[in-house]
Amino acid sequence: MTDVLRRGRASLALSFFAQGVAFALLVTRIPAIQDRYGVSDALLPAFLAAVPVLAGVGSVTTERLVKRIPASRVLRWSQPVVLLALLGVGAGERMVELGVALAAFGLAVGALDASMNMLGVSLQRSYGRSIMLSFHAAYSLGGIVGASLAWVGAHWDLALFVSYLPVVVVLLPAALVGSRWYVDGRGDRGDVVGEASGERGPLVFKVLLPLCLVMTFAYIGDSTVSNWSAKYLQDVLGSSEQMATVPYNVYMVTTLLGRAIGDFGVRRFGAVVVVRGGALVAAAGFAVVASAPGAWVGMLGFTLVGVGLCVLVPQTFAAAGRLFPGASDTAVARLNVFNYVGFLIGSPLVGALGDAWNYRGAMLVPMVLVLVTLGYARSFAAQPDRYGDGHERPRTADVGRGSNGL
């Protein structure tokens, strides 16, 4: 493996890490942001919904941009915008300033998420083996660091700007320096509606749709844990307020651990087996949560959810790259939009069902949706006939041309 690819992998992992830190610092300090700007409870959902909506716009825009410029350039300049927008959230005083900062954050996050995963997919092809989970493990690690820094800021009652500034001062120059070693893929600027031969133009949406649904279902599950685990433990299972904060932290740690070792599982057993196993474990976790007699069993359930869900999103991006090797950038950008669709649907869906029915029953909905992923697992199978660029390895489970039909 060349030094160019190694440096490219390390620099991209740094970008995933920085994005995890920035996003965690934003979402975990929402109460402080609300207090600083005087955002009412009625208006807060509109502000929060605007970020993923604009992120979807940013992802679609990136699809167009990468047909003219390399994805590495989009990533190089979108990451500083995300970090500066985060700082803007902490520095403003008026609600209009918050709106502008969040709008910039949302648009840049969409471009950042799309371009990061584009580079990850192309690097995986160059490596010839599964490495996509390692990048998302770096994101999970960043999320843990960001959430920990947010706890420190809240504990010491630091102003948002004071809490955010040191992070931006460290990560911004690091990201800019690291961007020198990004590695772009070759031949990935075609349109998803047809490769050079145009052989699959009319059928592409049908090919990509299963992956879009898996992405949506995974983020519905993720947003359920992020937004409702604390309330569920405290209000339904009778835990203390302090104990109710534990499940999400455990969820993040298990996500990190699962992704750190997940690539080895993909190389050994193949993506289909890993995705099916992840879906079954996540569904079992939600079932445990829904039937838990007490808080400790509920925490076990959320832990299982983290172990299962952590493999789905990285493998969905990787599968898109395998299905459309001549247009993987476009496929990834379109698939990335469904990240935000799941995020927008998940939390309101569970909340509405919990209020109208009960929260135990509401937890069964993400369980069922995750189980639906089993029906789409074949979309994650290796596609050896779609790799014509010489990067595949003979016996690699997820991208190669093994003797067993992989």
What does pLDDT average to over the chain?
Answer: 87
- Is residue 382 scored above 90 in pLDDT? no
Quick check: 349 pLDDT over 50? yes
Neighbours of 96 (CB within 10 A): 10
The predicted-structure confidence for 101-153, as pLDDT tens digits, reads as follows: 999 999 999 999 999 999 999 999 999 999 999 999 999 999 999 988 988 88
| pLDDT number for residue 383 | 58
Residue 369 has pLDDT above 60, yes or no: yes
Q: What are the chain's domains?
A: 1-186 (1.20.1250.20), 189-389 (1.20.1250.20)
Looking at residue 101, what is its pLDDT? 96
What is the per-residue pLDDT across 161-210, written as a single tens digit (0 to 9) for each? 999 999 999 999 999 999 999 998 754 444 434 333 333 333 366 788 99
* pLDDT the model gives residue 398: 38
Token readout for 149 is 């820094």
pLDDT value at residue 134 = 96
pTM score, two decimals?
0.87
**What is the rounded (10 degree) CA torsion for 371, 377, 256, 397?**
150
The whole-angstrom distance between residue 377's C-alpha and the CA centroid of its chain comes to: 19
pLDDT at 186: 55
The tokens for 48 are 């929060």
**pLDDT band at 17; cut points 50, 70, 90:** very high
pLDDT at residue 400 greater than cutoff 50: no
Q: Rounded to a whole number, what is the distance in angstroms from the first to the last CA of the chain?
A: 22
**Most confident region among 235-244, 247-256, 312-321, 341-350 by mean pLDDT:** 312-321
- CA dist list (Å): 372 to 85, 206, 210, 330, 377: 37, 17, 10, 25, 9
Write the pLDDT tens digit of every residue in 217-258: 999 999 999 888 888 988 899 988 778 778 888 888 999 999
Greater pLDDT, 315 or 47? 315
37-92 residue pLDDT tens:
999 878 888 888 899 999 999 999 999 999 999 999 999 999 999 999 999 999 99
Cα(138)–Cα(112) distance, integer angstroms:
15
Confidence band of 1 (pLDDT split at 50, 70, 90): low
